[in-house]
Structure formats: C-alpha cells, structure tokens
Structure 1
C-alpha cells in the first residue's frame, strides 16, 4: 500500500531520483525518461477520457491502470534479481498485451480498410486519442532505447507497441467508425 502524506521530499534537489529497487540515478537517465514518458501517456489518456463515454471510457480507465503497472515495471531495473526481491516486482505480462490485441480486433471489425494515411483530428475524442498514440510511440522508442543498455521486460515494449495501435484504431472509431477520418492528400498545398 502506498501512503503519501508529504509530497515533497527534497531528495531530488540535486538532480537524482530513486528507482523501484532503491538505487538512485540521474533524473535524465534513460530509465527515468522511459517511465516518465509512460506517465505522460497516462496524462494524455486522462484528457481523452474527458471526451469518452461507455466502453471506450471503460477501456481507457483500464489502460490508465495498466500504465501505472508499466511505470512500476520500468522503474524497477535488474529483472534477473526479481526472485530475490523482498516483494514480487510488478511486471507487465503477455495477458495485458493480448487484451489490447483483442480490443483492437473488436474495434477494427467496424472499420473500412484505410486507402490513405489519416491526419490526427476529426472529433475531439479522436484528436485526443491521436495525441495518446504519438506520446505512446515516443514512450516505446525510449523503452526500446533503454533495452539496448539495460534489461527491460519484453512484454513492456510489446504493450507499448500494441497500445499505440489501440489508440489509432480507437481514434478511427471515434471518427464515426472512420467515415469522418481526416485524410492526408499528398502534395495538396504545393
């Protein structure tokens, strides 16, 4: 259980922060950049939820919780030491990835195949979901970059990859099942 009774600790004033295993790193480290960007994705999902309702809002709420799981996963290095930890570290798993895939498939059934790239926009919800998509793509790039220098849970990277796809398909669905997508017209303004 988390208890936060004092928000500022002053322990980060010198430019370092604590990871999930207690070690301290620079706030600009690759690991902090990765999980910090996941937190940014979560904030964009919160904005999207202001426009969402019904099943989409329910899915977005579930995704927000998953993103906290993902942040906890990424802030805990040394996966090979998980068995020795005082408590089992929280890790994203393939079940969470499979759920996103299932939801993508279900949403995609009602959409016509794309014959053009689409521009972010259309409805307010679609525009917010496209923002979620681009920020989650950045989080994915940072997690992949981190994985080249430190251990990263492969399911965490897969989750981010599927998540951006989820946001893309949900954005199309929010544009009246794609009929109100804003299509890219190559060279239109030459």
Structure 2
C-alpha cells in the first residue's frame, strides 16, 4: 500500500466529497487540531495501568468520537449525513456529572499536574480548548455540524474531571493555585452552583 499520493505537493488537500481546498484553510486546521488531540489521547491510553482499564476503554471510545468529529468538520454542510449526534453530548455530560462527585470538593483553582496521566489529561484539555476556538472561528465563516462544537466544549470539562479522578484514585494530591481566594463555594447546594459544562 502506497502511503503518499503527491496530491498535496502544491499545498492543497481534498475534503470528503473530493472538494479541494488549501492546506492552511481554517477547516483543515480545525480538524487537524482534533487529530492532534486524538493522538494525545492515544498517548494517555498507552500510559495507563491495568487498574485503569475502564477509563482506558472509555478514552478509546472517545477517540472514535473525535474521529467522527473530524469527519464532520471535513464535510461541507449537506454533502452527506453528519456522524456526531446529540447522544454524544448527553453521554459526555453524564460522565462529567458522575466523575465530578467522586473527588473531594475543592475551593481553589487546580494547577495542572499530579500523577503523570492526570498531567497529560490536563494537556489534552488545553488542546481541546484550542480546537474549540478554531471551531468557533470556522462556524462563523461556514455552516458546520454545531453538535460537534457543543461536544468539544463539554470535552474540556470532561478531561478536567477525569484528571481529578486519576489523581484521586492514585492517591496523588492535586496542586492547587495558592495565590487567590476561594473560587468555589462548597457550602452552596449543587443546584445553586454554576453549570460550568452548559
């Protein structure tokens, strides 16, 4: 199987449906950033222990969803049915809500770090935010599957929650930002707290 096609030698690439656009087009940068994120998730999975098998399986499922997101972003609106549906958003919201309940309540911002896997999850969270910003720009210029934008927005919160879970389960203290006051208020009931992933 030949891996190179030479079609991109002049700075262009083909999208799904064979439309040709420049490689520095915002659409290509956007789904390319999701590919970068997917690769980072693969690194994280490779660094997890057997005791993390459930989380590993979940992250592998996430990799497939990220590939679906990239496929949708590489597809012009109306050219073919989109892959990512609202069920993906509902799934990730459910996971966030479950994972948010397990670690101890915090009152300060978390500094990325702790266990190596948690640190990598924080790195993945920041790549997710960069991808989200690109999606916002792309959506301003062209019509896209807006469910992808919502899913990626939730994804950064999911990765934050997962990083906290890993530190908690590994017995590693989370580094906290010490130069500010309280930013979370545990005395408030859950329904009074801002819904940060909505």
Q: Give the TM-score normalised by the residue count of structure 2.
A: 0.84
Q: Which runs of 5+ in 1 are unaligned?
A: 83-87
Q: Which runs of 5+ in 2 are unaligned?
A: 181-198
Q: Deviations over 1:34-90 (max 9, x none)?
A: 00000000011011112222211011000001011111000001x2x24xxxxx434
Runs of 4+ in 1 over 4 A off after TM superposition: none
1:179 CA drift (Å)? 6.3
Say yes or no: does 1:6 pair with 2:5. Answer: no
Say yes or no: does 1:39 pair with 2:6. Answer: no
Q: What pairs up with 1:29-68 in 2 under 5 angstroms?
A: 29-52=25-48, 53-68=52-67
Aligned residues: 176
Structure 2 equivalent of residue 129 of structure 1:
121
CA distance in 2, matches of 1:118, 1:157: 25
Q: Is the 8 A contact 1:120 1:130 kept in 2?
A: yes
Q: Give the TM-score normalised by the residue count of structure 1.
A: 0.88
1:114 CA drift (Å)? 2.5
Q: What pairs up with 1:139-158 in 2 under 5 angstroms?
A: 139-158=131-150
RMSD: 1.5
CA distance in 2, matches of 1:113, 1:151: 40
